[in-house]
Structure 1
Amino acid sequence: MSQLPSLFDIFAGVTDPRNAHRVEHPLPDVLTIAVCGILVGADTFEEIELWAQEKEPWLRRYLSLPNGIPAHDTFARLFGLMDPQPFEAAFRRWVAEVLPGLSPQVVALDGKTSRRSAKAGESPLHLVSAFAADAGMILGQQATAAKSNEKMAIPELLATLALEGCIVTIDAMGTQPSIAQAIRDQHADYVLAVKQNQPQLKDAIDDFFALFQSAAADQTPHQVSEDVNKDHGRQEARRCYVFDALECLPTPERWPDLKSFVVIESTREVSGSVTQERRYYISSLAPEADRLAKAVRQHWGVENQVHWCLDVTFADDQMRARTAYAGHNLAILKRLTLNLIRLDPVPRKGSFKLKRVIAATSDEYRAHLLGLK
């Protein structure tokens, strides 16, 4: 892989909110130190300061540091003042440079709450992230006051992404005709989950599938794809049924370019106990079972490859930065760092935790991950 854009390229478009006449630590220096600290395992501003003090000679190879290492109060004050929007825009520009072409991969949109990021009586930070499943990278994120407001944040996030030729997958919160239209306006296809927030649509698919199973399977055009997994005494079979009988749905014309609906039936057996689950979707894709089953399966990668990593590796749910914009800006840095590890130009086996340990101990590896020159 070619040399990644440097951190200074990432931060070039970020506006410094501080009084220019009183700035002791240049903005790129402070942000670069913060990324370095998060990369090596520091989870608070105090820990970032302590690590940077120990590594000041190494940091001086790349940073000016005219007044030494910033105090943790400096980090907290800057992150609290800094508008997250230009910071997020810089993040997206960097991703676009690293990953210039997305098509034809799945882009999954899903939200995550940083549970301890709010003061008493306030809503915690909730970010809707866009995740490129094949590349394993976060493309961007949009903040919203609560999970219930995701349907407001999703169109804003979609408008910032180049999605032509992609398949956009969203859980039920985003299953709205306006969001489907926003995806089609981007010349992308959608696969949207159907749950109780669209009760008539869900009931219609449920009734259709019950009839299909009981009497009409031979007479009903459909495609089916099956996937069976066995692991450590657990067996799970997933069957993906795809139909184009749109006339059986209530007001299908509400959904732009709707071409198919999907029923995924999962049967899981663990230690002799069997459970079954059904999930429903609508899509602008043609009724191709293998393609739709893969898109649904890839959507859930956002849980394992983004949310789980942020919680387990970066202690996101324990984040207590609660001053103004501090939590939001720190969350963006954590997602940037997650991308940097995934873009590892010196591929190494092992978990994210192990790679952070190596980054903490190897100056050379850390510099490669950060794109420092």
Structure 2
Amino acid sequence: MFDIRLKDNQGNLYDEVKATFALAEKDGFANPPWESDRQVEKGHGRLEIHEYWTQSDPDILVYLDPEQKWKGLQAIGVVRAERRMEQKITKETRYFLLSFSSVKNFATAVRSHWGIENSLHWVLDIAFREEESRMRLGHANENLAVLRHINFNLLRQETSSRVGVHAKRLKAGWHTSYLLRVLDGVN
């Protein structure tokens, strides 16, 4: 089972899926019919609206992938996310290739991926204070992000200390023996 996010650097396929969705939206998603789902979540001072669509019409799939490069392609998926926080509104549309056609499965897959990504960003922000970084010269910010991810993975794998990543990071700074344990991967 796969769901692969298309990006604009993927050339014609991205453009064709985007155009297919735009035409369907103009047509009211009627011909051929699209499956859809909508989820609204409120909490932490924000409102999030996620709309999902899938299209599994064989003629459309053959048109999008005439050489059948995507073995197992069963549908295309689109998700539109809108986040409202105070007076700020952000919108994003993402396009996917799917090995299944159910819009419910698509919504579940996308939401579970966002949950994993959000928890990583939360840890990087809290434990490593990533948002406070003021590195702007050259590639310093990207290089530090790589080092933070390596550090996060090493600390997460260290299981002898039953505390969070932030506390492990502090402990590694205070105790050389614990730092060596983290770096060596010895538990």
**Aligned twin of 2:171:** 358
CA distance in 1, matches of 2:105, 2:181: 37
CA distance in 1, matches of 2:169, 2:111: 28
Specify every segment of 5 or more residues in structure 2 that has no aligned partner in the other structure, as ranges.
136-142
If asked which structure has higher relative contact order (CA below 8 Å, sep 6+), I would say 1
* TM-score normalised over the length of structure 2: 0.63
**Aligned twin of 1:293:** 107
Aligned ranges for residues 1-373 of structure 1 at < 5 Å?
189-218=1-30, 220-248=32-60, 249-252=63-66, 253-283=68-98, 285-299=99-113, 301-302=116-117, 305=120, 309=124, 313=128, 335=150, 337-345=151-159, 346-348=161-163, 350=164, 352-361=165-174, 372=186
CA distance in 1, matches of 2:185, 2:18: 51
Specify every segment of 5 or more residues in structure 1 that has no aligned partner in the other structure, as ranges.
1-188, 319-326
Task: Work out whether residues 48 and 83 of structure 2, in 8 Å CA contact, stay in contact via their aligned partners in 1.
Answer: yes
CA distance in 1, matches of 2:52, 2:86: 25
1:197 partner SS: helix
**Residues 340 and 235 of structure 1: CA distance in aligned 2, closer, same or farther (over 3 Å):** same
Instruction: State the AA in 1 paired with 2:45.
Output: G
1:287 partner SS: coil
Larger radius of gyration: 1
Task: Work out whether residues 314 and 334 of structure 1, in 8 Å CA contact, stay in contact via their aligned partners in 2.
Answer: no
* TM-score normalised over the length of structure 1: 0.36
CA RMSD of aligned residues (A): 4.1
CA offsets 1:145-197 (integer angstroms, 9 cap, x no match):
xxxxxxxxxxxxxxxxxxxxxxxxxxxxxxxxxxxxxxxxxxxx432222332
**Residues 233 and 208 of structure 1: CA distance in aligned 2, closer, same or farther (over 3 Å):** same
- 1:259 to partner: Cα distance: 1.2
Tell me the percent identity: 23
Aligned length: 169
